Structure formats: structure tokens, C-alpha cells
Structure 1
Amino acid sequence: MPSPDDLRTGARATGTAAEAPAVSVREVTHRYGRGADAVTALGPLSLDVPAGAFLVLVGPSGSGKSTLLRLIAGFERPSSGEVAVHGGTPEPGRQAGVVFQQPRLFPWRTVGENISLALRYAGVPRAERPERVEELLERVGLAGTARRRTWQISGGQQQRVAIARALAGGKDLLLLNEPFAALDALTRERLQEDLRTVSSRTGITSVFVTHSVDEAVFLSTRAVVLSFGPGTVALDVAIDLPRTGDEDPDGLRGLPGYAALRAEIGAAVRDAAR
């Protein structure tokens, strides 16, 4: 069993020096508005996300977490500095699957049709889509629901569909902006467990925004706390917890180092809000 000192491994996540990061953020600053009305929301900020990492951005409201995610997704361009995904300029829909706080499914389509549409845009041949849809639904714990309407399933199930749809594009980067914030506590915990398993078994690179310290520790291989705006890195810590995909959630949360990490990150978030 790892000790608290073993779990706090410093500011850099695992990865070899020769391995190019999946995401690179270099001296990025982002402002909204112009002239005297301009507000600096983020930066200057620099960080790298190694391939296969699960980075969680946590911090108080107004710390620029969602802004940073939008920059990585390519929805916005930084006011200064550079954001690169796999060495290139991020473009919406090209390098990453994105999951929002609301599922944003097409209500006139079935569960399977929502995912099949993403497969179509990813270039998957029509004949292969039904099997792929079933594989993706099974991966997120929704086997057998392809023919149901989106309004016939719960909010938590809709968010699972949104995750499956994001995975359908075949991208190796997944961006998630507080996807579980509107769910009840029990559903949220179950989806955290499912997402952690998907991440562990696929090796996909993920960047996840949250306000929850516990969620940050449970999901991530690395947690970055952003300070109140303009957002800068207040804490950058690796989370070296077991990640086989078969862990007992209660067992993970019961590890001595888990409580220590929660306390460390929680203190950093409180300090960052001042």
C-alpha cells in the first residue's frame, strides 16, 4: 500500500522526457473584452499533459478552468501564448471529444442514433456502426438501450450517452467540463467509477474540469489547482493511485494517502479562492 509521501510525487505526471505531450500550454494568457473593459481570465499559465494522463483542473469559480478547456478544444484562441494538441493548433471537433455539463443529445434521435451520428462523422462505414454503437454503450454501462429515446432515460444515463458519443469519434483526447455537476450524489459517484474504468482500460488522455476536491483525487492521475482569476497554477500534484479499472472505490478512498491528497488539494483550493 503506498504511503502519503509515495502518492505526492511532485508537479510532473509520469512520462518519458522524449515523449511529446498530448497537450502543451505555453505562457498562455486569455482576456475577454477590450481596452479598459478587458478582463484577464487566465494566465500566464504553462503546463503539459502527457499522453494517457487524466488531468483534473480544480479551483474556485472564476479561476479560468472552463476557459482553459475551451482553449484546448479550439473553441477559442488564446490572447497570447500557445496551445498545442499533438503538436498542432487545436480545431473544434478534430482532435478531441468534448462532454459538457448538459448532455446536449438530439431528442428526436434514439440513444443509438445519437452515437451512430458521431460514428458517421468519424468516417465509420454504415455497416459497422450498429456493432460499434453496442460496443460503446456496453463500455459506458448502457448495453441494450440503443433503441430507447433520450427522454426515456435518466439524466445520469443521458450523460453516459454523451460520453459514449464523445468516444465514438475515435479521438485520443477527451475533454469534460463538469459533466456530473447537475446529478445527484449517488449517480455522480457511479459515473465517476465508470469514467475511471473507461479511462484506465482505454488509455485515453483526459482533461476534466470540476469544483469537487474528492472528484479530482478519485479520477485523476494529476490534479492542477487554479487560483482565482486570472487563473494560474496554484498546485500541480501527481495522483499515484492504483488504476487497473477493477479497484473497489471504497478501498481507494480508504487508502491513507487518499485522505492526505484530499487535504492537500482542498487546502490549495481554499487558498486559491482568497
Structure 2
Amino acid sequence: MSSSKTTKVTETGEGTTGAGSVRLDHVTHQYGRRSETFTAVGPVDLSVPAGEFLVIVGASGCGKSTLLRLIAGFEHPTHGSVRVSGIQPRPGEAAGVVFQTPRLFPWRTVQGNIDLALRYAGVERAQRPRHRAELLARVGLEGVGQRRIWEVSGGQQQRVAIARALAAENPLFLLDEPFAALDALTRERLQEDVREVTAQTGRTTVFVTHSADEAVFLGSRIVVLTKSPGTIALDLPIDLPRGDIDAGQLRNSTEFAELRAQVAHAVKTTAA
């Protein structure tokens, strides 16, 4: 099975400087000052071609979220360089970002939160209702636009956060353990939604998780980080069907089970 083959960390070639592509060259990131510095991640070399769905997986504290913040432009590496679409990322411009908690405005309605994102994305007022309706339909929230944030479930709030992140036409989509606080059933449903949405939009996606099951279900490629400071221990292409396929059938397949076991073993080994 070709999907069980381990590849080298750095991949170069076509697609590494296109819209939505990500490139990390010799990246190390530290926190603190002088003798109290703590290296959170690195050195890391990584290229993500445009259109790929990369999942970063590893034990808690290995630097997954730090890498995502560097890609989003929220932080700058201590050493090395980060490029998104060939340039240094700027926060709010490089990517649409979804966090572990929705971070919505509770005093606004569902559609009010999305309208605000559309306004910041530069969508004209007259065009916002159409774009909003498209986004709500894309994340399965038709008919709930008038509800306040506190009137919808946790899973629906994360759907709003996803729609808000998609409001700007950024070619890069970043998600930092967005389903960690949800129940198992809601989590699986949202995994299926994200898989479908990213396939429809064709956006480059980087998704952070500590779950081997989630990583294999979502990713077209998985990177496993070592314990802190996080470096890449495994770079694994995922050769599973990504078209119109039953999610239950995919999760129950032998190929899925083998890949999940391989990723789980890598996470456990590197965390030891």
C-alpha cells in the first residue's frame, strides 16, 4: 500500500510558491529571554503545495499550535523564514483561521458575525446577504442566521466560526484543534463537513490535532511532531479516497485502520 510509505520532511517542486502554498525554511521558535529561553519548535523544514490538506499531529506541548501561529503570521520565527504564497504572512491577511474555541461575538446574531467578517473582507454591503447565504449553506446552517450565538449549540458555533473564516477569499485555511471540546458524534459530523468544504473550495488547509483518527480521516498528508522542541518525525502521504465516499465505509476500511495505527504509533513513540 503506497500510503504507508514514509517520505523525507522537505518536499520541493511545483506548487510550493503558488497561491495558498506554505514554506518553512529552517524554522525555530523560542519563547522567553536570555538564559530563560525555551525552544518550542524547530528546526523545521516543510513545504505545503497549494491545494494540499496537511494535518499536523502530535502529543500536547509539542509545538503544533506554535507552527500554526507562525504560518498565520501571528508570530515570527526566532530563526528561519515562513512564506505563504511566496511572501511573509501577515495576521488577518495570510489565512482564514479557526481556533479551538469559536471566539464569536455573543451579542451578535449568527448572520451578524458572518456579516462582520464579510465587511472586513471588503465585500460590499449590497453583496453581503448573498455571500452570507452561501456561507451558511456551505456549513449547514440554513435557517439559523437570526439566532443569537448563545442560542445555538457548541457544534453550530464552530460551524459559524468556519463560515466566518471562509468569508475572506484567502487561499489558505488554518484550523487549530477546532473540534477538541465537542462530543464524539458532533466531532465526526464536523470532520465530514470540513472534508467536504475544503474539497469544494480547493483551499490549502493546515489542520492541527492530537488525534490519529482525525488526522487520517481529514488529511491528504500527515506530519507527526516529536516532543518539544517539535521537529518532524514522520511525513506521511495519505492515499485514501477523497471524493464522494461514505464516511462510515472509509473509517471502517482496512487501509484506514492501518494508517491510523501507524500514525498513533509514531505519536506515542515520539512523545516517550
2:269 counterpart letter in structure 1: D
| Distance across 2 between alignment mates of 1:118 and 1:19 | 28
Partner-residue secondary structure (3-state), 2:56: strand
Normalised by the length of structure 1, the TM-score is 0.95
| Distance across 2 between alignment mates of 1:25 and 1:104 | 28
* Number of the residue aligned with 1:219: 218
Deviation digits for residues 16-73 of structure 1 (CA, Å, limit 9, x no counterpart): 9233340000100011111221111100011111111111110011110000000001
* Number of the residue aligned with 2:2: 6
1:263 aligned to which of 243, 261, 264: 261
**Matched-pair identity in %:** 61
Partner-residue secondary structure (3-state), 1:105: coil
Deviation at 1:227, TM superposition (A): 0.3
**1:103-118 → structure 2 map (5 Å cutoff):** 103-118=102-117
The answer to whether the 8 Å contact 2:40/2:62 transfers is yes
| Distance across 1 between alignment mates of 2:115 and 2:87 | 28
Structure 1: 4+ residue segments shifted above 2 A: 6-13, 15-21
Deviation digits for residues 93-115 of structure 1 (CA, Å, limit 9, x no counterpart): 01200101110111111101100
Partner-residue secondary structure (3-state), 2:114: helix
* Number of the residue aligned with 2:95: 96
1:17 aligned to which of 13, 23, 48: 13
| Distance across 1 between alignment mates of 2:78 and 2:139 | 37
2:261 counterpart letter in structure 1: A
1:265 counterpart letter in structure 2: V
What's the Cα RMSD here? Answer: 1.4
> Could you say if the C-alpha distance between residues 43 and 16 of structure 1 is closer, same or farther in structure 2, counting changes exceeding 3 Å?
closer
**1:165-184 → structure 2 map (5 Å cutoff):** 165-184=164-183
Aligned residues: 268
| Distance across 2 between alignment mates of 1:260 and 1:111 | 40
Partner-residue secondary structure (3-state), 1:231: coil
Partner-residue secondary structure (3-state), 2:44: strand
| Residue 87 in structure 1 maps to residue 86 in structure 2 | yes
Structure 2 alignment gaps of length 5 or more: none
| Distance across 2 between alignment mates of 1:174 and 1:37 | 34
* Number of the residue aligned with 1:64: 63
1:212 counterpart letter in structure 2: S
